[in-house]
Amino acid sequence: MSLVEGFSHESRQSELVAKVDELVAKVDELVAKVDELVAKVDELVAKVDELVAKVDELVAKVDELVAKADELVVKVDELVAKVTSCQGDELVAKVDELVAKADELVAKADELVAKVDELVAKRSECASFHVCGVILLGLWCSSVLAAGSWYPKTLPCDVTLASNDTMVNVDCTERGLLEVPKDIPRNTTNLTLTINHIPLINSTSFQGLENLTEIDMRCNCVPIKIGPKDRMCTESVTIKTNTFKDLRNLKALYLDGNQLTSIPKGLPPNLILLSLEVNKIYTILKRNLSDITNVQILYLGQNCYYRNPCNVSYQIEEGAFLQLDNMTLLSLKSNNLSYIPPRLPTSLRELYLYNNKIEMVTDKDFHNLTQLEILDLSGNCPRCYNAPFPCIPCPNNSLQIDTSTFKTLTKLRILRMHSNSLTYVLREWFQNCKELRVLDLSTNFLAREIAFTYFPQALPNLEELDLSFNYELQRYPATLHLSSSFSSLKSLKVLRIRAFVFQQLTLEDISPLIHLKNLEVIDLGTNFIKITNLSILMELKSLKIINLSDNKISSPSESGQSVAFSGGEAIHGSPMSDAGHSRNGEVREIHYFRYDEYARSCKYKDKEDGTLNSFVNTQCSKFGKTLDISRNNIFFLHSRFLNLADLRCLNLSGNAMSQSLNGSEFTFLTQLQYLDFSFNRLDLLYSSAFQELSRLVILDISNNNHYFESEGLTHMLNFTKNLTKLKILLMNYNKISTSTNTELESLSLEKLEFKGNRLDMLWRDGDTRYIDYFKKLLNLKVLDISHNNLNFIPQQVFQGLPDKLTNLYINNNKLKIFSWEKLIILQYLEVLDLSSNSISTVPPELSNCTRSLKTLLLRRNQISKLSAYFLKDAFSLKYLDLSFNHIQNIEQTSMPDDVVDQMDTLVLNNNKFMCNCNALMFVMWLNRTMVNIPRLATAVTCAAPGAQRGHPVISLDLELQACQHNYLSIILYILLTSLVLSFVTLSISSHLFLWDVWYLYHFLLAKFKGYRRLSSPSASYDAFVVYDKKDPEVSEWVLKELLVQLEDHGDHPLQLCLEERDWIPGCPLIDNLSQSIHQSKRTVFILTNKYIKSGDFKTAFYMAHQRLMDERDDVIVLIFLEKVPSHSKYLRLRKRLYRRSVMEWPTNPQAQQYFWFSLRSVLVTDSQKQYSNLFKETL
């Protein structure tokens, strides 16, 4: 037997060597194929080069077509001119010529279509490289068509279309432009170029933009003292002559803040508005205005004042404005003017002369301005005490106004004389001003005059009067003295008496106002009032807004006195003289000391807004009667102190109240709907706090962090359950880190702002007490938990959020991960703000997390990559902000077109995009998509490589040929690597799986030669049993169990063939094994895990399996005495084809009888009848 085995092993080695030789030949053949592939690739590169040439030809044709179109436009203009001049013969000739041009254009278009068809045909030859051609064509077309848009996406501006489709706004604000963009749509009507660095404009800058009606080019070279210090401009903007001449539709031109030294020449004659503020124009001559005789609004202010000094006298030629017959508004503010320009046009309705150096106003200055409606003379003789600007008192200490100055101004509606150091006001000034509605006399010296004046008697129609900041220095009078003539102001609606400075407000003080039925607003703020009875203000029945902020009103005594007092001794010095730089100074500066503050900024075109900023929250005052007593000295509240039953809005902020509210303090405020209790020291000791305010809708208790920062105190935050009408609750910046109640309760609350607290302490890992903190706010729709120091949100919290939540703000926290999958719980969520966190991942598919989300804000996070299917099926999303992240590339699958094109806005600016060959598809997508991407051409820029850094991604011009060669190199690398790996794998497999290779070789050889084995004699045995004779347990099972059951039992005993019993002695092993297999109907393998790995089993199994190949007769039956190896592919296949041929020895003795029955049945049944149909067809 050993000689046979040695001979067999030597034979197999020789066969293996032959097989290896054959594999080497195959490798040589494969190398030849690779060479052929390289040749094909070279041919393909040539095709791509040809495609590039075709595209270049297409570009040339398009350029030629555009030139023809421009020529046609010129011809049409000539035609219109000829029609106008009615030159008939020449007109006919021009028409014929235009027809010929049109025919030529049609021919060119046909030729262009043919070229495109040829290009498409060539592209189909690219096979696997067709993407390169698409990219090349797509990148060029994007600069012209921009994915079907009517303006190129490379335009560094925002383009919006008005709802009526008549206005096209192009906003290029703050884009770092050095010239006017060339790709501005021809139908643009409004062009904004503010806050850029454009040094020069000429007639070609706006060529083709004949539809422009407004150009806003402010702040391209702001004067040094006014402009930003990090980019100071030293050379003024140059505007060439006739730059705007061809813009016949231009109506408004803003050129402020450009350091212009003169009015531009060649302005269009139809110009209506011209603004030249904050320049260096010091001289106004008639000839400068001769081109704009139709102008109606002219702004020439701030050309010569302390922040834009001129160092020369501001000069206006007499009668310079007289030629402007249609002018209705003239502004000459802040120009150091010492006189009112004579001979102004009679059409003027608004005249602004404030902040100049005019010392006297005579009766001749306005005598011809009979149409004037607004006149502002403020700041010409300023009150210099505590002024926030360089102030020089005028020589006469007051503006001198002639008695008849305003005599002819019968249509005057608004008159402002703020800060003119006036010490008196004459009734005669207003004798003919019956239409006057607004009079501003603030910041003068009228404290004594107000007590005895009679000028109100001349103003029966006055609606707004401002007497603020008229206090006397070093005086602190006991009461306010108002002249009885104030009762004549029957139409008065707004009265402002801020900073008059007095100690006590009594009913007698306001008695002249009691019968003013139209008085709605009274402002008594910043008066340092110490004593007052708030109920006396209720005598003014028509009042809607009462402002007593920034005073010194204190709480009543515990005895219930309704008059507030401080208990200190009276002083004689004015508090204003010692508090010039107090916290009130900022308020006064903003509202009353306006010199530069109300000048139009570079970002807004609003001018000459004389209205004061509202001192009351408009959301509060809309409820009705409003009282503002914020920033006083109220430390304690008593119910009688606020005996104001009609009050709807109350502001008590900034009073440092530390009282523990128990539900009795606001008893008399039965109608109160808005309460501002912010910036106090609220102590929520009782859950009954605020419960008496049954009609309260909005409650603000923000910035009451004093007691919340103390340890061990009681905080009853469930007071909300008693406020059945409450809809908005503001609890911001209280630093709440603990709560006596573990839940907030309310059936009415719709919005809760919980910013600036410490939810990170309430939601600590392991502490589940506050998991449902917001759950019982059953109608809550808006929840803001930003600025809460959260570094994670427990997953249980999402289940504890109100079901009706629509807006959730979690911005400005420290989140690194977010449980996106939990959003599915919030079925109505529409807005999710996760900005300014440290989130690095997005969900695999947003649509699997939420189907309702419309707005998702993820700006300022650490996102570097979007998931492959991020927005798949997210059709509800309309606004997505991914700005200020670390995104390097966006795959097309992450933002599918069918989703993104339905969005309103996608924000991508300030990311770290990699502009290499991998970005080509992203660039194409940017050009193709229809979604609005703000600042696409200026802020969506490359971060790397260095050569492309800062370059706009949208206009990326990559070396496409280099990218193509790069792709070719990658493909060749993959092919060669695969070849080497395949060879190595085959070699190692042949060495490790010798028997498998040997058998496979001979099997395939036999199949190729069509070898057929001679038919064997009839089977002598029912089954040949193959088993491990070296295993005594297996041998015992075969001899004592298998033989007994199959040969001795049953109606038809079976004849078995065993090696130890039936083999011929002395015959070679291979012959005995072959004869036993072929003379038996079945070959039964008795298997164990050890025996499967032996060579004896493999030899017998291969020979039995060869009978299947030769005779198409499956004789194999497998019996496993141990657990079946589930990983065997062959075994799984055999079970699929013929399940009964694989059997297991049952461990349950009760099942052994069934096993013998099944085995006998398999041995006596024709195997082919049991196969699946697929295997039958194969055989």
Domain residue ranges of the chain, discontinuous segments joined by +: 2-142, 842-954, 1012-1178
Q: Residue 63: name the closest of 121, 115, 136, 118 by CA.
A: 115
Sign of the Cα pseudo-torsion (684, 688, 689, 695, in order): positive
Tokens of 185: 């749509």
The residue ranges of DSSP E strands in 353-433, in sequence order, are: 360-361, 374-376, 400-401, 414-416
User: To which H or E segment does residue 675 belong?
Assistant: strand 674-676
**pLDDT tens per residue across span 358-414:** 999 999 999 999 999 999 999 999 999 888 888 889 988 899 999 999 999 999 999
User: To which H or E segment does residue 93 belong?
Assistant: helix 88-124
pLDDT surpasses 80 at 741: yes
Q: Which pLDDT value is given to residue 30?
A: 57
pLDDT band at 642 (very low <50, low <70, confident <90, very high): confident
User: To which H or E segment does residue 495 belong?
Assistant: strand 494-496
State how far the Cα of 795 lies from the Cα of 817, in Å rounded to an integer.
11
Question: To 10 degrees, the CA torsion angle through 900, 906, 909, 913?
Answer: -20
Range of lowest pLDDT (372-386, 876-890, 983-997): 983-997
Sign of the Cα pseudo-torsion (181, 185, 186, 189, in order): negative
Q: 842-954 domain in CATH 3.80.10.10?
A: yes
pLDDT band at 541 (very low <50, low <70, confident <90, very high): confident
State how far the Cα of 157 lies from the Cα of 173, in Å rounded to an integer.
8
Percentage of the chain modeled with pLDDT above 70: 77
Q: Residue 603: name the closest of 1079, 1071, 222 by CA.
A: 222
Tell me the average pLDDT across 37-43.
63
pLDDT band at 95 (very low <50, low <70, confident <90, very high): very low
Chain centroid offset of residue 448 CA: 57
Range of lowest pLDDT (20-24, 243-247, 383-387, 710-714): 20-24
Q: Which pLDDT value is given to residue 1152?
A: 84
Q: Which pLDDT value is given to residue 65?
A: 60
Tell me the average pLDDT across 700-722.
93
State how far the Cα of 1022 lies from the Cα of 668, in Å rounded to an integer.
110
Tokens of 207: 């060529």
pLDDT surpasses 60 at 143: no
**pLDDT tens per residue across span 247-259:** 999 999 999 999 9
12: left (phi over 0), alpha (psi -120 to 50) or beta: alpha
**pLDDT tens per residue across span 460-474:** 999 999 999 999 988
**pLDDT tens per residue across span 1037-1069:** 888 888 888 888 877 788 889 888 888 888 888
The residue ranges of DSSP E strands in 789-909, in sequence order, are: 807-809, 831-833, 855-857, 879-881, 905-907
Burial of 148 (0-12, 13-18, 19+ CB in 10 A): exposed
Q: Are 442 and 496 in contact (CB under 8 A)?
A: yes
pLDDT surpasses 80 at 127: no
pLDDT band at 140 (very low <50, low <70, confident <90, very high): very low
Q: Which pLDDT value is given to residue 638?
A: 81
Q: Which pLDDT value is given to residue 1051?
A: 73
Tokens of 722: 């008693």
Question: To 10 degrees, the CA torsion angle through 222, 228, 230, 231?
Answer: -20
List all residues 6 or more positions away from 386 whose beta carbon is below 8 Å from its beta carbon.
576, 580, 585, 588, 593
Is-cis flag, bond preceding 945, omega within 30? yes
State how far the Cα of 265 lies from the Cα of 274, in Å rounded to an integer.
13
Burial of 566 (0-12, 13-18, 19+ CB in 10 A): middle
List all residues 6 or more positions away from 936 whose beta carbon is below 8 Å from its beta carbon.
153, 908, 926, 952, 954
Q: Tell me whether domains 842-954 and 1012-1178 share a fold.
A: no
pLDDT surpasses 60 at 563: no
**pLDDT tens per residue across span 914-963:** 988 888 889 989 988 999 999 999 999 999 888 888 899 988 775 544 56
One DSSP character per residue, 216-266 reads E---SS--TTTS-TTS---SPPEE-TTSSTT-TT--EEE--SS--SSPPSS
DSSP reduced 3-state for 1149: helix
Q: Are 532 and 503 in contact (CB under 8 A)?
A: no
- Paired with 660 in beta bridges are 683
pLDDT band at 593 (very low <50, low <70, confident <90, very high): very low
Q: What is the DSSP letter of 600?
A: P
Tell me the average pLDDT across 1154-1175.
72
Q: What is the DSSP letter of 1016?
A: P
Range of lowest pLDDT (339-343, 369-373, 578-582, 637-641): 578-582
Element counts in the chain: helices (H) and strands (E): 22, 46
Alpha carbons within 13 angstroms on the beta-carbon side of residue 379 total 24
Tokens of 1162: 């398999």
CATH number belonging to domain 1012-1178: 3.40.50.10140
* 826 or 139: which leads in pLDDT: 826
State how far the Cα of 543 lies from the Cα of 432, in Å rounded to an integer.
29
Tell me the average pLDDT across 90-119.
52
Angle, helix 920-928 to helix 130-142, in steps of 10 degrees: 50
State how far the Cα of 1046 lies from the Cα of 264, in Å rounded to an integer.
118
Q: Which pLDDT value is given to residue 1148?
A: 85
Q: Which pLDDT value is given to residue 779?
A: 96
pLDDT surpasses 90 at 651: yes
Range of lowest pLDDT (232-236, 729-733, 1005-1009, 1041-1045): 1005-1009
